[in-house]
Amino acid sequence: MFERATKVMIRGGSHTLRLWKPYPFFPASAQGATVTDLDGSVYLDYWQGHYANLLGHNPEVIRQELEPYLAAGSLHTGFENSVQIELAEKILTALAQPGLKIRFTTSGTLAATYAIMLAMGYTGRYYVLKIGGGWHGSSPYLLKGAKFHPGRGFNQMDSAGLPPELARHIIVTRFNDQEQLEKTFKRYGSKLAAFILEPFIGVGGFLFCSPEYLKLARKLADDYGVVLIFDEIISGFRFCPSGLQKLYGVRPDLSLFGKLIGGGQAVAAVAGRAKIMSGCETAGSSGWHVNFEGGTFSAHEEYMRAGLAMLNYLTSHGKEIYPRLGQLTARLRQGIEQAFAAEGLKVVCTGSGQTAIDGSSFFMVNFPQKDKISYSSPEDVWDPARSDVFLREEALKLALLINGVHVVHGGGCLSTAHTEQDIDRTIEAYRQAASIFRRFL
């Protein structure tokens, strides 16, 4: 199947992360915590639809909503639908902050791009500040400092095909570093349209921002008239039935949501202060306009229904779901560290470490190059001098696949479909991987 794919697609597919070497498997079916491939091999999956499937693969709750809807003949119409109003109300009620408006789109990349355009339109400025290691999709305004470049850190453009002068307009600062943030605002604050950050940094290493850092970000953004954007595409509804912003008590001007709010379908959104969001209006009273007018599949009713079913379920079951996921994942992190220690190898699992939440369902397994790596920044996770990135990203993946477990970046996230037995099986798979590694390290 993969050979056939390479004849018609670059590298044999449409998403680089899904195309691991030597070749990826192709799912035949997926249910709950597991995926079955075309050869009939079954994998416990911790990728879970790029972290979108908090209820596991193909959950009953969402299928029950979509199946009768699709059976009634309800493909795309290109008209407005009332379900989007319900989803909009649901998200804004969950954020519990007055004066917000929301607009839907179909990917996190688009939401990030539109949010930056809104910030630029609103402020009349054209510089953006972001975090080294922060990933916001392939938005041209943010394709700098997402990937670590040995010797240069998180400070290079991540893509060709962009005007060279764009590099000067994207400023990168260090995750959770308050001193550097103050210095950066002093230097660039009056030029900045936006400061965008993930309160829980995803690809950067599954690390939480400190509440003090977020408070400082809010204060500096206010002092310098900069639009503060929280990218909650991973963290939204993942740790509680709202954004992390609610738990931290720090409010951005604009928020990005995606993944979970689509219940497995293509939904993302920008939500924020009405004054900034009003830039979407073509003949707005604001005197400026951003072309965030919508795309062919924006707020597709099928997607809206899936998202609403997901968020309704999370709000009504949140009290059980989040603490349980937190406990199971804590056991998994500890079990993995112990399994490697038993083989004489040190690993450090990131993903936890924030007391404001009931527990985190993320885990990333890191291989420190030295004893004293604190795992407090994306540099700790992505600098090959600090972590063995090859072991985490490539070797561990294959060592686990042959033991029936699928991970990305050395780990992933739990869903409500994962059980205590799944955790035991997974720890055992990591133990087997550790014993393979020990023979070679």
Ligand X SMILES: Cc1ncc(COP(=O)(O)O)c(C=O)c1O
Q: How far apart are CA 381 and CA 388, in angstroms?
A: 9
Query: Is there binding between residue 50 and ligand X (CB under 6 A)?
Result: yes
Query: Is there binding between residue 231 and ligand X (CB under 6 A)?
Result: yes
Quick one: tokens of 70?
A: 């699709």
Exposure string of 25-58, with b = 16+ CB inside 10 Å and e = fewer, is beeeebebbbbebeeeeebbbbbbbbbbbbbbbe
Q: Cβ closer to ligand X: 231 or 343?
A: 231
Q: Which residue is nearest to ligand X (CB)?
A: 108
3-state secondary structure (DSSP) of residue 327:
helix
Continuous segment of H or E residues that includes residue 195: strand 192-197
Q: Radius of gyration of the chain from Cα atoms?
A: 22
Residues 169-208: x/- map of binding to ligand X (CB under 6 A)? -----------------------------x---x------
Stretch that binds ligand X, among 38-46, 129-137, 165-173, 383-391 (CB under 6 A): 129-137
Residue given tokens 């900034």 in the structure block: 276
Query: Is there binding between residue 303 and ligand X (CB under 6 A)?
Result: no
Stretch that binds ligand X, among 21-29, 133-141, 301-309, 423-431 (CB under 6 A): 133-141
Handedness of CA 188, 190, 193, 198 (dihedral sign): positive
Smallest distance, Å, CB 200 to ligand X? 9
Which of positions 241-300 make contact with ligand X (CB under 6 A)?
258, 268
Which of positions 82-111 make contact with ligand X (CB under 6 A)?
107-109
Pairs from 242-246 (Cβ < 8 Å, separation ≥ 24): 242/94, 242/95, 242/96, 243/94, 243/95, 243/199, 244/199, 244/200, 244/356, 244/357, 245/95, 245/199, 246/94, 246/95, 246/96
Q: Cβ closer to ligand X: 202 or 252?
A: 202
Query: Is there binding between residue 37 and ligand X (CB under 6 A)?
Result: no
Query: Is there binding between residue 137 and ligand X (CB under 6 A)?
Result: yes
Number of Cβ within 10 Å of residue 13's Cβ equals: 15
Query: Is there binding between residue 133 and ligand X (CB under 6 A)?
Result: no
Stretch that binds ligand X, among 21-29, 93-101, 132-140, 378-386 (CB under 6 A): 132-140
Continuous segment of H or E residues that includes residue 42: strand 42-45
3-state secondary structure (DSSP) of residue 281:
coil
Q: Cβ closer to ligand X: 37 or 198?
A: 198
Query: Is there binding between residue 135 and ligand X (CB under 6 A)?
Result: yes
Query: Is there binding between residue 47 and ligand X (CB under 6 A)?
Result: no
**From 136, 218, 251, 273, residue interacting with ligand X (rule: CB under 6 A):** 136
Residues in contact with ligand X by CB under 6 A are 50, 107-109, 112, 135-137, 198, 202, 231, 233-234, 258, 268
